[in-house]
Structure 1
């Protein structure tokens, strides 16, 4: 008798003539690190292959632009029908398929959201359904019938090319404000001819593309149509229109992939890619509603991390397929772990947007909680250490746990010491914050993995030089963290003053009206947390512009410019999420370019461009940063032949920096 826990999730599904081994698909993701000719690199093949190794039924290569001359919106997009890219695409599809997954590829065109700077010939305008002007002032020129027919053939050519390269499913991007959506949505399509007006006319273009692809490559290869169930915009279409769109697609494609939102508008983009402030599975309801009206299998996507929730979605008939985007980075092994009973070791996506922020700024996906991402090739081909060593890790926070886990996996003898009675470090104070639920899961999961690994754990053990020497280690990794900085200001010792860490642990100590000194990530997130609990919050930040206005998350030519000031600790895309969340909270106020002068019983005396004034408050909270415990860490440097100092005790940064360095240092041990 089968003991399979998630029977519906792991039931195979046939789409067209292709059998998929389970219901867990990896959503389309582009690979930023292309060659100078915009072809996939060898590292890209490993990026996609890693998901296939982990058990995904389908792995989709994203952002293949079907008209590279005028259809690109950002630099990291492949050419859609360039013969010179055939080898790289074939190697990638093979890397996916040889592990039993179906290699899919997403066909895109930016349409009126294309970048002028990325066109082969900048004519000063972009093409769209109708004449107009974009919010950034760029002219939109309406396509004529001949151009539309040419574009349809470009989709067909790209699909045929993809099939030649070994891809087993075609994904058409018909959502999120891309070119196909621009014909579908009345918001963009004001045409009066056969391509606009009624839903039948607005759907004429995507149906023509589907028909052209079918004629070109037949019915053997399934077609997935990715759509927005709602545009999530005041002037965009809603779920009722989404249902009508899906009805027209019903029977014409093999999968209706229901996403939501619009890439070019921040507020809608934060629905497409749910931030930590939204609940898990927040977009499933749109797929579930559409599934009531169609017979074609429906896929859902967005903020899904828990296989139990995924199983319920499939079992209850809300969707037929689960698509995972960021979660496929946080843990490419989610499918296999769920199948063999290791679901409690699945690394959850923290929804911190570290992946998006890094790919936008630096051109590489890096995951905060999974240091293998961005290093897929080296991690999959790593050579075992030449020498097994005794490794002492001082500090059981996120960096310490990651270092211990990686070193143990590499075969070293690992000793992990933590001075408190619990693993998790400084971030334990955020365990009970509702929008940090996935962080709490991550900390518990890391601690669980430590307990299951060959790691000797000593709690309530502070690593002094004497303690360190008693273990006779070959290697010491100091990850002892930092402590909150206390501002030097008159009145700091008053009874109405507390640190952010104290408030996180005991929010009830905060009065109805509170002032937070510090507009960095800690201060802003604490302010949101307290505001959600009903407190009136004022955040005081000395710097000019606590939250700058970031560029669109994807899309126009401004993607690589105007990036928000990250000096206060706001990752690019998480900064967008913070800004959107702050808009929803009327009881929170931000005072930038404001200097704190003195704390009194009445509140905080500050100085800004209007002079000196008092912000009345019951509680003053400081969140001005962390002081690294560098000296305490360096005191251990003579206690072993090899010594490494990592994480906040070097320079306080973020989860990604801690796990990344911890992982790599542990990987390097044993070379000599």
Structure 2
């Protein structure tokens, strides 16, 4: 069948002087890998891995065109000829695999997140209209500065052209400078750059013309734009469509995304989490495709090749952005070509180590594929010099990954799991509201175990005597964690249960529920949403500033919106202290004042985990090689567990 073969997705596409070998695109996304604002070895290794895996088009992350474009401390800059050698090495590395490469040209306008030295930056925009998300009041651009920035776009394009890139993409999406000029609510100028649509598009037209004039006839020039910013003050889909049609003759392709950096709600769509439907922007790209004759690219939660193929074969777009799919599995295109779709490590849109790392100022990675962003360290793990008999105890994410990597290196690996199912806490995490896709992590790891031919022993508890009988050369202890129940002052018989028992169906509670959330992560939010959707009165007591304080911003913001829609009462800065028959006692973590909640039927504990360390403790005097990983080392998240598995197995 065509969908199985993904023939449309794998077909080539000619755009001006470039030829894409397939329609799989890695879109421009910040990796936090560059240093000194220049392309470095880490970024080259990262993009080379995706080219080696068969991507048809790689669009390199944004490059600032002018000194006022430094929106973070780790941005790439294309504002001087110093950038050319690095871009040249990058282009050569990508071209070696037949992959086309474009660069993104960027100015954030008022969307400035940070500046050098911790000082607030001076932000420039078309008009003195404040940014809501970063609380920036910009300085209006003068006409001379506009002309200077326009010229800098062209100069930056010339540098990337000289470096050997195949084209550039002008970033007019997500509320950045060209979008600010386009928006009649952000651009309130009264000169030739404001007012009518023609005037509001003048800046973008001048940029495109300058880029054309300073490159070549064959050089590709595209435009990325949000097909609706999902914000009351943002550009609408109709406004974006009108602009696209007006600019069609000035560009070689249009790249449709969604959202805006200017508001918390709009920013969710920059990297939409798993609660947002797959391929949700394809209807808008189809509308665009019906109105223009140039190729249309679309990006937005397209993480499976079958979905991308369906979008392209139905004529809704010509190229699909599959960035997180390629972060999770750089070999995805090659597996599609070889018809090994079941071997693809599918992205679960958790946002934890991709955009989540960016928001922490850390290099990009992936919770399922921690080699991402660490290609220089783990991109070519050597075979083991000595084949060992390796015993992995615990079939959660940490143990599964350790077993896979150890087996791939040539070791004889057996994985022991005390229960009948592999997956550990991920089996519970997928049961949280809007988190079902998280279960894909288990499916992916089980497939990796099968490919690596790891022997799996289910329903097999392990203690020291079992280890001594098995006589391994190396032991990996990945026994996980169990819920932590804090000591509480108990003056009555109020029902106290933990999230694990609720998700496993072992505890059925209803009525007036207090969710005690110490971790400020997915679990407390998930429990609150679960009970509220089932018609219960829910109060979420958070030991932090807000629900989801420790999780990726876009997931957090989307989840907080749902909590408010459901009418969940949120109590921040709250420490669970005690209870009696129908009252819960909390303590304000800032001023120690009591917070008393009456008429409560049950408390659901989301108060963290404690390591299952009995086996590790029993092996303290064991004479052999012992490694403790994942939550059995220290309770953390799936990201650290899987990374531990990679790190330790690479060293055995």
> Aligned pair in 2 of structure 1 residues 192, 571: CA closer, same or farther (>3 Å)?
closer
Structure-1 residue corresponding to 2:395: 396
Q: Distance in 1 between matches of 2:416 and 2:492?
A: 33
Is 1:425–2:408 an aligned residue pair?
no
Alignment check: 8 A CA contact 1:469 1:640 kept: no
- Write out aligned runs for 1:461-610 (5 A): 461-489=460-488, 496-506=495-505, 509-520=508-519, 521=521, 522-541=523-542, 543-547=543-547, 566=550, 570-571=551-552, 574-590=555-571, 592-600=573-581, 602=582, 604-606=584-586
The worse-fitting range, judged by mean Cα deviation, of 181-190 and 361-370 is 361-370
> Aligned pair in 2 of structure 1 residues 256, 124: CA closer, same or farther (>3 Å)?
closer
How many residue pairs match? The answer is 645
- Write out aligned runs for 1:363-442 (5 A): 363-442=362-441
Alignment check: 8 A CA contact 2:513 2:603 kept: yes
Structure-1 residue corresponding to 2:21: 21
Q: Deviations over 1:570-604 (max 9, x none)?
A: 3555444433443333235335325332142x353
1:105 partner SS: strand
> Aligned pair in 2 of structure 1 residues 113, 587: CA closer, same or farther (>3 Å)?
closer
Structure-2 residue corresponding to 1:33: 33
Residue 616 (structure 1) shift = 2.5
1:353 partner SS: coil
Query: Which one of the candidate residues 610, 614, 619 is aligned to 2:602?
Result: 619
Q: Distance in 2 between matches of 1:123 and 1:503?
A: 46
Structure-2 residue corresponding to 1:173: 171
Residue 360 (structure 1) shift = 3.1
Structure-2 residue corresponding to 1:633: 616
Q: Deviations over 1:497-553 (max 9, x none)?
A: 322011112298231432212242222222223333443321224x352449xxxxx
Structure-2 residue corresponding to 1:10: 10
> Aligned pair in 2 of structure 1 residues 123, 664: CA closer, same or farther (>3 Å)?
closer
> Aligned pair in 2 of structure 1 residues 508, 465: CA closer, same or farther (>3 Å)?
closer
> Aligned pair in 2 of structure 1 residues 535, 27: CA closer, same or farther (>3 Å)?
farther
Structure-1 residue corresponding to 2:446: 447
2:5 partner SS: coil
Residue 305 (structure 1) shift = 1.3
Is 1:317–2:298 an aligned residue pair?
no
Q: Distance in 1 between matches of 2:623 and 2:204?
A: 65
Q: Deviations over 1:440-483 (max 9, x none)?
A: 11212211221332211100011111111222211000000111
1:70 partner SS: helix
Q: TM-score, normalised by structure 1?
A: 0.90
> Aligned pair in 2 of structure 1 residues 431, 544: CA closer, same or farther (>3 Å)?
closer
Residue 429 (structure 1) shift = 1.7
Q: Deviations over 1:239-279 (max 9, x none)?
A: 11111011112232122111111113211101222123222
Structure-1 residue corresponding to 2:51: 52
Alignment check: 8 A CA contact 1:16 1:254 kept: yes
> Aligned pair in 2 of structure 1 residues 59, 222: CA closer, same or farther (>3 Å)?
same
> Aligned pair in 2 of structure 1 residues 266, 133: CA closer, same or farther (>3 Å)?
closer
2:529 partner SS: helix
Structure-1 residue corresponding to 2:339: 341
Structure-1 residue corresponding to 2:248: 250
Q: Distance in 1 between matches of 2:532 and 2:24?
A: 37
Residue 181 (structure 1) shift = 1.1
Residue 228 (structure 1) shift = 0.7
> Aligned pair in 2 of structure 1 residues 461, 232: CA closer, same or farther (>3 Å)?
same
The worse-fitting range, judged by mean Cα deviation, of 97-106 and 374-383 is 374-383
Q: Distance in 1 between matches of 2:317 and 2:73?
A: 34
> Aligned pair in 2 of structure 1 residues 493, 17: CA closer, same or farther (>3 Å)?
farther
Residue 25 (structure 1) shift = 0.3
> Aligned pair in 2 of structure 1 residues 637, 611: CA closer, same or farther (>3 Å)?
closer
Residue 650 (structure 1) shift = 1.3
Q: Distance in 2 between matches of 1:287 and 1:590?
A: 42
Alignment check: 8 A CA contact 2:267 2:554 kept: no
Alignment check: 8 A CA contact 1:531 1:588 kept: no
Structure-1 residue corresponding to 2:358: 359
Q: Distance in 1 between matches of 2:106 and 2:290?
A: 28
Give the CA RMSD over aligned residues.
Answer: 2.7
> Aligned pair in 2 of structure 1 residues 137, 302: CA closer, same or farther (>3 Å)?
closer
> Aligned pair in 2 of structure 1 residues 107, 425: CA closer, same or farther (>3 Å)?
same
Alignment check: 8 A CA contact 1:531 1:537 kept: yes
Query: Which one of the candidate residues 143, 146, 162 is aligned to 1:145?
Result: 143
Alignment check: 8 A CA contact 1:105 1:162 kept: yes
Residue 116 (structure 1) shift = 8.0
1:515 partner SS: strand
Structure-1 residue corresponding to 2:644: 661
Alignment check: 8 A CA contact 2:303 2:324 kept: no
Q: Distance in 2 between matches of 1:134 and 1:485?
A: 42
Structure-2 residue corresponding to 1:552: none
Structure-2 residue corresponding to 1:297: 295
Structure-2 residue corresponding to 1:128: 125
Residue 2 (structure 1) shift = 9.1
> Aligned pair in 2 of structure 1 residues 450, 387: CA closer, same or farther (>3 Å)?
same
Structure-1 residue corresponding to 2:74: 76
> Aligned pair in 2 of structure 1 residues 592, 473: CA closer, same or farther (>3 Å)?
same
> Aligned pair in 2 of structure 1 residues 79, 3: CA closer, same or farther (>3 Å)?
closer
